[in-house]
Structure 1
Amino acid sequence: MSELDLPQIAENQALAHITSNDADAALEAALCDEMTGHDPTAGNITLLDEEFRGHWHHVIAGSPAGAFDFIVPAIRRPFMVTNTTDATATVKTASGAAGQVLAGETRLFYCNGADVLGLSDSSATGGGGGAHAGALLTRSTDQSISDNSNTAVGWDGEAYDTDGFHDNSVNNSRLTVPAGVSKVILSAQIRWDSNTSGTREILLHKNGSASFDGRPFQHIEAQSGRTVQGFVSPVLSVTPGDYFELIAWQDSGGARNVEAHAATWFSLQVIA
């Protein structure tokens, strides 16, 4: 049986042209047909085998409560997904690797029979059809930063993560470079709690080290009210497996908090 489950002509079959015509029609549907009506309002979407085999383009519409999964069968084939909702769709098999389609995006994918891979017209893994690739991380709780101690800021939320740059549970301070990415820009911003003693610093570590070309760094005196710091890196050359962490430091004389707030975030954007 083929991946697309096309009708097969048997040896010495009578009226073989009928089977051939049926196979041609199924192949045309697999390459050209569009399936609309995918609605995640009630939760995740799971495609049936025949829906996945019989349609090239899948259009998602509806009003989901938040990010949702678009689960496809583990069948080898290319396909395309358009997400017209206001939430991020994670496109995946039941147990394999995934790609994501942000609100308003269209992306091209390939399922290799186990994992869903995002296709691209550049060397970047994310951004099929020129789409954006990267991640934006957030915090849901304040994080305490000890006095006079470099501390990696952890991140337990993702506004988006197109290609698995981050894990909310394992090494959640890290943004890790996947295969196919060679140049990135890192940016970050944090809001400290209200305290005017001492100074505040943020810097970027690459693979646990502060020694690399183009490392961004900011040092300022604590401000009245709340101190907010941010930086943007230059374009940085990377190899798959490289990881980055945002490091916070302060010398107020006691522990200070990096606050969970819209002004506290960490971002990686793929350039090439």
Structure 2
Amino acid sequence: MSELDLPQIAESQALAYVTSNDADAKLESALCDEIADHDPSAGDVTLSDAEFRTAWHHVIGGTPAGAFNFIIPTVKRPFMITNGSGETATVKTASGAAGQVLDGETRLFYCDGLDVLGLSDTTSEGGGGGGHAGALVKLTANQTIANSTNVVLSWGGETYDTDAYHDNSTNNSRLTVPSGVSKVIVSGQARWDSNTSGTREILVWKNGSSAYEGRPFQHMGAQTYLTMQSFVSPVLAVSPGDYFEMVAWQDSGGSINIESNVATWFSIQAME
């Protein structure tokens, strides 16, 4: 059986043109047809083998309550997804690597029989003139920063993650560079609890170290109300597997929190 389940002409088959016509029709469907009514309102969407084989373009709508999985069979083929659901779709097989489609995006993918590989095409206006790739992560609870101690922040939630830069469970402090990326920009922001004593710092470690060219760093005295800090790195040269962590430090004399808030976040953007 072929990946697209096309009928095969047997040796010395009578009326072979009938089988050939059937195969041509299936191939045309696989290259040209779309399924325009995928609805994740009730949860994840799982495609059947037949749905995946017979349509090139999959359109997602509905009103999901949050981000969801769009699960495809382990069939080798290219395909395209348009996401109009209002939420982020993670495109994956049952056990392989995944890609993501943000709301309003159209992305091309290839399934290699296990993993979903993202191509560069998109309708959104990403950085560098191509499709946007990167991740934006957030705290899911306040994080306590002990006095005069470097504390690595743990990001339990994702606003988006296009190419598995982040894992909410395993090493969730890290934004890790995937294959095919050679330059990135890293940025972040922290909202501290109200406390007027001492100073505040946020910085970024690369592979567990602060010793690299272009390291972002922000130091300031505590403010009368909430202390806010942010940074943006220059374009940084990277290799696949490099990872970045956001680190906080303070010397108020006691422990204080960085708040779980829309104003506290960490981001990585691929430039090349």
**Deviation for aligned residue 1:131:** 2.0
Q: Say whether residues 1:105 and 2:105 are aligned partners.
A: yes
- 2:93 and 2:245 mapped to 1: Cα distance? 30
Structure 2 gaps of 5+ residues are: none
Aligned pairs for 1:11-160 within 5 A: 11-120=11-120, 130-160=130-160
TM-score (norm 1): 0.96
Q: Please tell me the root mean square deviation across aligned C-alpha atoms, in Å.
A: 1.5
- 1:130 and 1:223 mapped to 2: Cα distance? 40
- 1:117 and 1:76 mapped to 2: Cα distance? 11
- 1:206 and 1:10 mapped to 2: Cα distance? 59
Letter in 2 for 1:171: N
Letter in 2 for 1:254: G
CA contact (8 A) 1:39 1:60 kept: yes
After superposition, give the CA deviation of every residue in 1:94-135 in whole Å (9 maximum; x if it has no partner): 1111110000000000011111111126xxxx99x9321100
Letter in 2 for 1:39: D
**Deviation for aligned residue 1:85:** 1.1
Q: Which residue of 1 aligns with 2:209?
A: 209
Q: Which residue of 2 aligns with 1:243?
A: 243
CA contact (8 A) 1:105 1:131 kept: no
Letter in 1 for 2:7: P
Q: Which residue of 1 aligns with 2:163?
A: 163
After superposition, give the CA deviation of every residue in 1:128-152 in whole Å (9 maximum; x if it has no partner): x932110001011111111111111
Letter in 2 for 1:11: E
Q: Which residue of 2 aligns with 1:227?
A: 227
Count residues in correspondence: 268
- 1:17 and 1:182 mapped to 2: Cα distance? 50
**Deviation for aligned residue 1:64:** 0.7
Give structure 1 regions of 4+ aligned residues with deviation exceeding 6 angstroms. Answer: none
- 1:48 and 1:174 mapped to 2: Cα distance? 34
Letter in 2 for 1:210: S
Partner of 1:24, secondary structure, is helix
Letter in 2 for 1:32: C
CA contact (8 A) 1:191 1:263 kept: yes
After superposition, give the CA deviation of every residue in 1:146-202 in whole Å (9 maximum; x if it has no partner): 111111111000000111111111111110001000000000000111100000011
After superposition, give the CA deviation of every residue in 1:10-53 in whole Å (9 maximum; x if it has no partner): 00000001100110111111111111111111111111111100
